[in-house]
Every structure is written in structure tokens, then in C-alpha cells.
A = this chain, B = another copy of it.
């Protein structure tokens, strides 16, 4: 019997930054957090201006794939798709609250 290959444990700090530590992902999560309701593609387009539709679509797909947001088909005809935070995604909202409080506290310093 062969030995199992060693399990390579990734650094959870680096991994979480890789998954959600970028401006578009954080802004998508922020919009869903502050609006507190499912949102449509065009609402993100407006809120995240000047994001391109290609970038936004890729980011929504990525966040959906890693389980941070979920895609719901709200209507078939006409097709209405909405995105919302999953439980996993909601657990990231304290990150944004801490960052916002940090900004409030320090905004008048350099």
C-alpha cells in the first residue's frame, strides 16, 4: 500500500485573501450587506461603477462558486436573477464593519 501524499495545508490568511480580498469581491459583499436584500446584475453595475459587465459577471461567478453568494432565479419569464449572501458569505460582513469603523475613526488622520 502506498503512503498517502502529505496533505498540503494552505495558509488560511493567504487563502482568504485569495478568495475575497480584492476590491470587487469586497464591494459586492458590501452592497449585499448594506442593502440587506437580494440584488440583480444591473443593480451591481450601477453600485460598482465603473466596473465592466465582464468583470462583474466573472466576480459574481467566482463568489457563487466558492459559496459566498447564491444565485436565485426569481422569475422564469421574463428571467429575473438575483444574488444574495449565503451563511458563509454573511460571516464575512464583520470584516467590512471593522474596516468601516476603522475608516470612521482614522479618516481625519493621514
Residues of A within 8 A of B (CB): 10, 12-23, 26-27, 30, 34, 65-67, 88, 91-92, 94-96, 98-107, 109-110
The residue that A95 contacts in the complex, of B30, B95, B105, B109, with Cβ under 8 A, is B95
Rounded to whole Å, the gap between the CB of A87 and the closest CB of chain B is 9
Q: 4 closest Cβ contacts across the A-B interface? A: A16-B99, A16-B103, A12-B103, A12-B100
By the criterion CB–CB under 8 Å, are A27 and B22 in contact? no
A65 to B110, CA, bound (A): 7
Rounded to whole Å, the gap between the CB of A44 and the closest CB of chain B is 14
Rounded to whole Å, the gap between the CB of A90 and the closest CB of chain B is 10
Taking CB as reference atom, which chain B residue is nearest A33?
A: B13
By the criterion CB–CB under 8 Å, are B23 and A17 in contact? yes
Rounded to whole Å, the gap between the CB of A72 and the closest CB of chain B is 17
Given contacts A23-B18, A34-B13, contact A92 B100 (CB under 8 A): no
A44 to B65, CA, bound (A): 30
